[in-house]
Structure 1
Amino acid sequence: MTDNKALPKISVIIVTLNVADTLQACLDSIYAQLYPNIEIVVMDAVSTDGTVDILKANDDKITLWRSEKDGGIYDAMNKALDYTTGEWVYFLGADDVLFADYSKLAYQLSDANTIYYANVLLRDKKYRGKVTSYQHAKGTICHQAMIYPKHVFDKYRFNTKYRLSADHVLNMQCWKDKSIHFKYVDLIIANFNHTGASSKPDKVFIADQAGLIRENHGFIPWLRFVIRQYRNRKKVIPESYN
């Protein structure tokens, strides 16, 4: 991957902890990209399974990596952002892999005020297409489907209060921000492994979600969400309690 000054640089951030079984395949999928101006930044949480050995073996291709204690996934991502030098930022799970379409999306990055998003392959199916405000509020966009302009992170960082859903909260803030736009491109750019940390519920986020929707998406999406929650609760209440 040569540094092509004519194209904007993309900083690919990977956060790792004991991922020796999948990391090399993840890295290889980046090396295989036709887009020539990519840097890789890896933040490892002191892995003990051989992950660090893989990082050492790839030292000539990884722009920067650190192995040190952190406060969780999003704390590590916030740290990694301080080391990036690209105009664009992308977050890739160590158990995910990029497809050739990633480079096709990279070549379309042109508006520095736009978050570009595409699709991922989830359980062997395309996920999830263009989203409405309500769909975004309720379920956000897969993190591995999005490429952010770097300046977003000069304004916002991941709120580590939400240990598994901080990307959802950040995307909500960006959705509300009138200076930031979202553009959908119909490509499948990565295979998303649904069995990782993001597959678990974030109880703090679940408790706050309705308020976050009203704050960042407005009254109508909030009302739809609250009504949907109410109806779902009624479905699980035994008839004798209704």
Structure 2
Amino acid sequence: MKEEIKVSVIIATWNAAHLLPACLDSIAAVQVPGLEIVIADGGSKDNTVALLEAFKKVPLHYISEPDKGIYDALNKGVSQAHGKWLYFMGADDRLLPGFANLCQKLQDEHTVYYGNTVPVYGPEKPAYTLLVGEFTPWRLAQYCMNHQQIIYPASVFAKYQYPLKYKVFGDYALNLQVWGDPHFPKVFYPINIAGYYMGGLSSFHNDTVFKKDKARIILHSMGWWTYLRFLIKRFKRRHLQGHPVFF
């Protein structure tokens, strides 16, 4: 009898063969029963496909074709996944033993479960502390959380997709929608589940479209109270305190 897929680990790649072996080995090392890997590759020109064909430690399947960016690739990965829960990571991320501990706590198929992530390499940044701990809707309205710390029920993606209009913060836009949706309870466990590269995509690219839309997303997803509170705090940061503000 074929093993039921409980968790699908979805990775978007493009010419990442130099990173994938360590990433895939970290997934295999956590030894989560009923786990599959789904690779959405953007048509790599290196030896990514050969590497994926040779990997046999964990059930893995992939597509390799041109895409419209990372969020298009992740949406394609969702369409190929069989798990009751979906987890997203990059080729430069690494799963930690705590991932298996969080997977043991997955029960309700409409609940979002999440833990903590830690920087494993790359330039250190003091903003790391903003990513640790429980996220209320108000905290999320202020700070983007790492998508590597979240295990989503597949039911989230029956309702939402990663928006393609945002080149860097499509995951932030999706999380604002999900955290504002009462149909998906959120449960936090103080467990380190993944290590991530501090110099990732969001560190080097600007997403002016998301910055322009962020307040509107908060209003539509989280309501007037959070929206007005967000606007007031942003105004104070920009005009009263003289502090730079990211969004």
- Give TM-score, length-normalised by structure 2: 0.87
CA contact (8 A) 2:137 2:180 kept: no
Q: Residue 236 of structure 1: CA displacement?
A: 6.6
Task: Give the counterpart letter for 1:88 in structure 2.
Answer: W
- Structure 2 counterpart of 1:26: 23
CA RMSD across the alignment: 2.1
- Number of matched pairs: 234
Q: Residue 33 of structure 1: CA displacement?
A: 1.1
Deviation per residue, 1:163-200 (Å, 9 max, x gap): 21111111122122221111101100000112121323
Q: Select the residue among 191, 216, 219 that pairs with 1:187.
A: 191
> What does 1:200-239 correspond to in 2, within 5 Å?
200-234=205-239, 235=242
Partner Cα separation in structure 2 for residue 218 and residue 201 of structure 1 = 26
CA contact (8 A) 1:172 1:213 kept: yes
Partner Cα separation in structure 2 for residue 228 and residue 85 of structure 1 = 42
- Structure 2 counterpart of 1:151: 155
- Structure 2 counterpart of 1:58: 55
Task: Give the counterpart letter for 1:66 in structure 2.
Answer: I
1:129/1:60 Cα in 2 relative to 1: closer, same or farther (>3 Å)?
A: closer
Identity %: 38
- Structure 2 counterpart of 1:111: 108
Partner Cα separation in structure 2 for residue 236 and residue 85 of structure 1 = 46
Task: Give the counterpart letter for 2:232 in structure 1.
Answer: I
Q: For structure 1, list consecutive stretches of 5 or more residues without a partner in the other structure.
A: 238-242
CA contact (8 A) 1:120 1:145 kept: yes
Q: Residue 155 of structure 1: CA displacement?
A: 1.2
CA contact (8 A) 1:3 1:37 kept: no
Task: Give the counterpart letter for 2:233 in structure 1.
Answer: R
- Structure 2 counterpart of 1:99: 96
Task: Give the counterpart letter for 1:208 in structure 2.
Answer: D
- Greater Cα shift, 192-201 or 67-76: 192-201
- Structure 2 counterpart of 1:240: none
SS of corresponding position for 2:102: helix
- Greater Cα shift, 124-133 or 14-23: 124-133
Task: Give the counterpart letter for 1:176 in structure 2.
Answer: G
- Structure 1 counterpart of 2:173: 169
Partner Cα separation in structure 1 for residue 83 and residue 152 of structure 2 = 10
CA contact (8 A) 1:10 1:89 kept: yes
Partner Cα separation in structure 2 for residue 29 and residue 12 of structure 1 = 12
Q: Residue 85 of structure 1: CA displacement?
A: 0.8
The ranges of structure 1 where at least 4 consecutive aligned residues each deviate by more than 3 angstroms after the TM superposition are: 2-5, 59-62, 123-127
